[in-house]
Amino acid sequence: MNIERETSRVEAFSDGVFAIALTLLILGIQVPTLDSFATNEKLYHAIINLWPSYLAFFLSFLAVLIMWINHHGFFKYLKKISSFFLFANGFLLLMVTFLNFPTAILAKYFETPAFNIASAFYCGTMVLVSVAYNLLWYSAAYKRRLVKDEVTDDLIFKIRNAYWFGFFIYLFAFIISFVLPFTGLVICISLWIFWTILNYRM
């Protein structure tokens, strides 16, 4: 198997997992259960009352989409694949598929006294996602093990520093969520703007 085909297989497999993760997020929105005497008004209010689930679905769909964009962004710099990289990539895909669960927890307990733990659980998951990205980049870029020759050292350092920055911000959001859950969640979400504008071009 040639090297280009090997990297393409890993990327194609990863794309499939990302696609499944995006699809599974909708399962967090449950169809309202009403009795046999349900009226239009009751169904209307039941649908409206699901707004935390809609919000959680939208935010997590956006998060996974941005993760996929960044995953695709640096994948084009790889010239080969290693076993370490495959395990790091597997860990990232594990966290991506797991994101559906903290999303459901966040939606269910959004308006309850347990929102602190729900927010911390969600932000803590994003910390692990950040760890996965850092491991993935380390496995590829440390001593330029897997990156193409045309990738500059400046770009390697730029992406490395961006991933480290993201980790510490996510960690801060996780810690503060126990006391200020909404603030922690906002900090966590605000990082998505940073990931959106992160430039992978040489």
**Above 60 in pLDDT, residue 202?**
no
**Each residue of 28-40: pLDDT tens digit?**
788 888 777 778 8
Compute the distance between CA of residue 179 and CA of residue 68 in angstroms, rounded to an integer: 31
pLDDT band at 175 (very low <50, low <70, confident <90, very high): very high
Residues comprising the chain, all counted = 202
**Above 70 in pLDDT, residue 201?**
no
**Each residue of 47-105: pLDDT tens digit?**
888 888 888 888 888 888 888 888 887 788 888 888 999 999 999 999 999 988 898 88
Compute the distance between CA of residue 14 and CA of residue 31 in angstroms, rounded to an integer: 30
**Each residue of 47-60: pLDDT tens digit?**
888 888 888 888 88
Output the six-digit token pair for 198.
């992160």
Write down the domain spans for the chain.
3-197
Output the six-digit token pair for 118.
């729900």
Q: What is the pLDDT of residue 170?
A: 94
Q: Is the pTM of this model over 0.75?
A: yes
Query: E strands within the chain?
Result: none
Are the C-beta atoms of 115 and 152 separated by less than 8 Å? no
Q: What is the pLDDT of residue 4?
A: 59
